[in-house]
Chains A and B, each alone.
Chain A
Amino acid sequence: MDYPYYPGCTLKTTGKKDEEAALEVAKLLGFELKELPTWTCCGVVYNLTSDVMADHLSATRTLIRAQEMGRELKTNKLVTLCSMCYNVLKQVNLMYKNNPDKLKNINLFLDTEEDYLGDIEIMHFLEVLYNDIGPEKIKEKVKTSLKNLKVDPYYGCMLLRPKTIAFDDQDSPHIMGDILSALGATVIENPMTVECCGAHQIITNKGAVLDCVERIVSISQKKGADVIVTPCPLCQYNLTTAQKTLFEKGKINRKTPVIYLSELMKISLTESGQDYLKDYNFIKDKLDERGGL
Chain B
Amino acid sequence: MVFTVSEKGLELRKTVEEISGENIFKCYQCGKCSATCPVVDSMDMAPNKVIRLVQTGDVEVLNQNTFWVCAACFTCSARCPRSVDIAKIMEGLRNVKLRNKQDFINIYSKEFIEKLIEEIPQMAIVSAIKKGVW
Contacts and interface: CB of A to CB of B under 8 A. Distances in A.
B92 A201 contact: no
A212 interface: yes
A202 B130 contact: no
B78 A170 contact: yes
B41 interface: yes
A196 B121 contact: no
Nearest to B95: A49
Interface stretch (B3-11, B48-56, B67-75): B67-75
A162 interface: yes
Contacts of A41: 126
Given A50-B21, A199-B71, A10 B122 contact: yes
A50 B72 CA distance: 16
B102 interface: no
Contacts of B85: 48, 162
B59 interface: no
B39 A9 contact: no
Contacts of B71: 196, 198-201, 208
Contacts of B115: 203
A161 B115 CA distance: 28
Interface residues of B, number: 40
Contact of A48 (B18, B69, B91): B91
Contacts of B74: 157, 161-162
B123 interface: yes
Name the residue among A10, A41, A55 with the largest chain B CB count within 10 angstroms: A10
B39 A196 contact: yes
B78 A163 contact: yes
Contacts of B19: 49-51
Contact of B69 (A15, A202, A205): A205
A208 B104 CA distance: 16
Interface of B: 18-21, 38-39, 41-42, 68-69, 71-75, 77-78, 85, 87-88, 91-92, 95, 104-105, 112, 115, 119-128, 130-132
6 contacts: A161-B74, A162-B78, A199-B127, A200-B125, A203-B115, A237-B121
